[in-house]
A and B are shown apart, each in its own frame.
Chain A
Amino acid sequence: MADAMQPSYTRKIKMGQIITSYSHLHDNKVIVNGRIIFYQENILKFADFVKTVFKQEQFIYPRFYKMDAISKLGFLATELVLKEKTIEGYLPEAMGIVLSNSSASLDTDIAHNETIKDRSSYFPSPSVFVYTLPNIAIGEVCIKNKIKGENAFLISEAFDGKLLFDYVNELFKSKRVEACLCGWVEVMANNCNAMVALVENTGAALDGRSSGFEPMLFNEENLNLIMTRN
């Protein structure tokens, strides 16, 4: 019987979809394609954590600072994936993105509520309000990377590899996408957990892939494996 903790590699399959790059950000740690690229033992506030990673990776994108927490996290997780494996060869319409989490935009909804709860000091912030939907995080990723294909933000109580796999798999089967970013982007107060994977068709994906990372078969088990791997 195969070891459940061992990923299924592409050499076992001829056709289908594979994960060609992934990132996982949680507990002050950032893992990209199995490598820990950032870890700070001292507990950081979420804002400090994402800002430190953003600067460490030398990303230049002033709009980042205007984003809400979930968008910042989704942006970072995605940029780290795409730093390893480009999507430049795809038409914008052929590139999809499906994210998920459990709190939707509750973290930002609470921040918005703070600006309106006192009727004597009622100053709703437009820049907070515009982020009170979780799929705005998808929009930020699409703006940055010129993605115009299928997108969805799914809500589930906990990370659901099957839900994510089934949805994205259907997009490939129905030929709505040629490549798709998918994952989990959860932020609540100072706790965050994000995993984003780039899924591509086997043939296309083997060109120009990042060195040192063996692509993994795209399936529920491997999505769960990435989420639980530290």
Chain B
Amino acid sequence: MNSAAGDMDAFVQPHFLKNLILTSTRGNNRTMKKIVLATSALAFCAAVSTTAFAGATLDAVKKKGFLQCGVTTGLPGFSSPDDKGNWTGLDVDTCRAVAAAVFGDAQKVKFTPLTAKERFTALQSGEIDILSRNTTWTLTRDSSLGLNFAGVNYYDGQGFLVSKNLGVKSALELDGASFCIQAGTTTELNLADYFRANKMAYTPITFDTSDETSKAFDAGRCDALTSDQSQLYALRIKLKNPDGAMVLPEVISKEPLGPVVRQGDDEWFNIVRWTLFAMLNAEEYGVTSENVDKMAASSKDPNILRLLGQSGIKGQGLQLSDTWAASIIKQVGNYGEMFERNVGQGSALKISRGLNALWSKGGIQYGPPVR
């Protein structure tokens, strides 16, 4: 609240107070009106003309001293708080990586839990600096919400979770079923599309959080729960009887999930995007959180040297320190480490890499060259 108090001063200042002071000393109504009109017009023009916007987020973040990151209200593997309030997950680590790039300290990040409904407004309004909340990249969101997707940290697709005793083997047998969904997601739209295309009837029952969704499914409110497949595995382990439920084979949509930033700040956009790419490149060249220091000191591979800021453009273009990528890898790890720790074999979810393997290993995760 300290910082908020400081900001209050800043916003109490502006034009309208000056107007008040000006006008209160004069008795004449007409002059006052003119002055008000003129000043407000001026204020408006000034406001509209200050679109010199680039770099605003980075400066603001640096001034604040921490990164404000929007995450879910709790989704195991992606972002969830433990009972001490510490956040973990793939999306959380993506934010930590950005913090490591900007500050050289992965801990300088604060998390704002958001429901699916709140997330875009929160980013648009500037409440958060980056939205990393397993959000699907779509045309509408990229073009008319004033947002930019900086990349993809998880390639996903929508699937169905059903109770085993329903006796269903394929999603096409789900005609007339009811579905628990999280409100305000692409899931809602895909479901409608899928059933329309297959001429089947369905009943959607929407909830605000994934917790409520799985709780309602558990209580038998709906026949199936539909969401991104990664989430289905995460929600399944939270059921009372995880073995009584199964994920159907169909994947009915493409769900590229990734971090989102506000439109119009290219510099910030680049930082987030290249944070992801740096982690991908690190995995490709075998740089891990364990060997990064050794690599920086002794590696002969020019690719690795450039990545770790030993040669080449270093951090200049991004306006970051030279060791930005080295700090990401040291503190958060490369993409593979992040994946395995949170959703892969090192976690309770045990999701295999699949599409999310590197391009060189049969997946589609691809980091453009650092040079």
Q: Do A and B come together as binding partners?
A: no
